[in-house]
Structure formats: C-alpha cells, structure tokens
Structure 1
Amino acid sequence: MQEKYKLKAKINFLAYYQIVGGAIGIIFLVWLLVSTLPVQGLNSILFLMMAVFFALSICAGWLLLEKRTEAGLTLSKINQILQIIGFGFGGFGFKYVAGIMLSLGIDLKDDANFIFNFSITKLEFFINSSKDLAKVEVNLVAIYLVYFIIKIQDTILYRRKIGVVNEDD
C-alpha cells in the first residue's frame, strides 16, 4: 500500500513540475510579447512556437493530474528530451527549458571553455542571427527527469505484470 502512495507522489511531483515550468514560460512569453509590441512577420511565428513548447509542458502535467498517466508520462518524456541539449553554431541556436536547468557544456567561441549554467524556464531560438555562437550544453536536470520518468513507467509496467493495478495508476 505504501508503494502505491510513493508512486502517486512521484507522478504528482512530475505533474506539478511540468505545469509550473510551462506556466512560468508562458508568463515570461507574455511579458516579452508586451515589451516588444508590435509583433510582426517572423517574430509572430517564433512567439507562437515558444507558446507551443511551454503549452506542451503544461499539457503533460495536466494529463498526469487527470490520471491519464500513460499519455502524460509519454508527453513528459518527450518534453524532457527536448530540454537535454542546447546548442548554438554560427547564426543558429536552440535551448529550451521548462523548469530548472543545471547544465554542463563547452563554449568554443574564442577557446575551448567549459561552462556550467543554472537557469529557470527559457526558450532561446536563433535562426540566421548575427550571433557568433559555438557552444553545446547538456541539461543534467532534464537527463535525470527522463530517467525518473522511465523508472515510473517501469514500475507501472511491473505492477501491471504482477496484477497490482487499479484505476488510480
């Protein structure tokens, strides 16, 4: 019985983490949108894309809270995988975080410099910008959360296999 509550607590933690991370992203996005008005052309597409990424995080958490565990865990895993690698080369770059980022990486802009960053929710997306970028980062929190999600999925699969299933799982 105790194991059932531990599993529920893990799923609820993941759900709220995803929802809060996505909600903070939406709040940052609205603030950015208001501060850059009017938004035209390619910028409007970029703002829409940013909203979709943060909505993905919120949707994953919401599915978990609605007891649609399998779909919620799958979407959560996809969301976290998107957050593992951040990169920038030439004028192109991408870094997505919906929650917490603790990253290790290398910046090759001038020399090979190792970087260690901490950040909260953000989405950086550069297309053909004039930024002189040459870096790669790996989000350690996202890697751990993918592992965490896989362990939850394995636990659910094992419980189904031995016949310990109820509608709350």
Structure 2
Amino acid sequence: MNLKFIKILGLYQLIAGALGILTFLFFLHTIDLLNVALNGLSIYSGYLLLKKDFKKGLNLSIINQFLQIIGVSLLGFTFKFVAGICLGFYIDLTSDTIIGASVNLNIWQMSFSSNTEQIRISLNFIPVILINYIFREKAKLT
C-alpha cells in the first residue's frame, strides 16, 4: 500500500473541501446545504484517510471523485461540482458546437433556470486519474 499517496489524497480532499465551503461563504455570504454536503464529503473522506481508516476513506473518496467527473447544463438544469483541481474540456452545443479546455479550482454550480436552450457537458480528468489510483490502493487492502 502506498501510504504516501493516501496521505496526499487525504490532505488534498480535506483542504479542497474546506476551501470549497470557505470560498462559497466568502463570495456569496450564504450557505448552500448541498454545497456543504458535497464539500463535507470531501473533507470527511480526507479525514478518514489521514486517520488511517483506509477502507471507509477510500470508498468515500471514490464516491467523492465520481461526483466531480461530469458537469452538465441541459434543459434548464445545471450541475457541476469540483472540490480541488479541475483540468478538462467541455463541449457547448447551445448555438454552435464549441469545444474548449477548462482549468479551475473549486467549482460549485447548481441551478434550475428558464434557459432551456443551453446544452453544455464538461469532463474533469483529475478525478478520473485519482479514481484509477484509489482503485489500485483499494485492491491492495484485500
């Protein structure tokens, strides 16, 4: 088992989740319970890994990272969550096909709007890479 990777992953998730909540509070001066829950999942899974509760921590880390892979805007609904680094691409099909790259930190978007024409899908590569390593480490536990 690669304890160095697990420690770095734990710190990454803990710090990213805390910054996600603090950033949201700082800029919007309000609390969104879903934002707190999702970033709280990141904080808790990081805490478990640092506490060396590897089985539970890795399982929650997988869930946490899966929630960060795809962002979508479709039929007036928007959802995108990233606790940490976002490095990926997007496809915007709203009025024309636009493909672009995205690099961000800590993203939280969830809304329902009357703009039902927007169609945008984004993919974040960082959680895909992390999930690969998490599954490798999880396999070493058994």
Same fold by TM (over 0.5)?
yes
- Offset of residue 32 of structure 1: 3.3
Q: Which amino acid aligns with 2:22?
A: I
- The structure-2 alpha-carbon separation of the partners of 1:129 and 1:16, relative to structure 1 and needing over 3 Å to count, comes to farther
For residues 104 and 91 of structure 2, what CA distance do their matches in structure 1 show?
16
- SS where residue 4 of structure 2 aligns? helix
Instruction: Find the counterpart in structure 2 of residue 14 from structure 1.
Output: 9
Q: Which amino acid aligns with 1:139?
A: N
Off by >6 Å, runs of 4+ in structure 1: none
Note the residue ranges of structure 2 that are not aligned, 5 or more in a row.
none
Instruction: Find the counterpart in structure 2 of residue 96 from structure 1.
Output: 81
- Offset of residue 89 of structure 1: 1.1
Aligned residues: 142
Give a deviation string over 1:28-76, Cα, whole Å, max 9, x none.
1211342x6xxxxxxx6xx111111110100000011111110000000
- Offset of residue 90 of structure 1: 2.8
Identical columns (%): 34
- SS where residue 102 of structure 2 aligns? strand
- The structure-2 alpha-carbon separation of the partners of 1:28 and 1:131, relative to structure 1 and needing over 3 Å to count, comes to farther
TM-score in terms of structure 2 length: 0.93
Note the residue ranges of structure 1 that are not aligned, 5 or more in a row.
37-43, 158-169
The 8 Å contact of residues 55 and 141 in structure 2, kept in 1 or not, is answered as no
Instruction: Find the counterpart in structure 2 of residue 161 from structure 1.
Output: none
The 8 Å contact of residues 29 and 51 in structure 1, kept in 2 or not, is answered as no
Q: For 1:85, which of 39, 63, 70 is the aligned residue? A: 70
Higher Rg of the two aligned structures: 1
Instruction: Find the counterpart in structure 1 of residue 23 from structure 2.
Output: 28
Give a deviation string over 1:87-141, Cα, whole Å, max 9, x none.
1013111000000001122110121111210000111001134475211111100
For residues 105 and 32 of structure 1, what CA distance do their matches in structure 2 show?
25
Q: For 1:59, which of 39, 44, 54 is the aligned residue? A: 44
Instruction: Find the counterpart in structure 1 of residue 118 from structure 2.
Output: 133
For residues 131 and 122 of structure 1, what CA distance do their matches in structure 2 show?
22
Q: Does 1:109 align with 2:99?
A: no
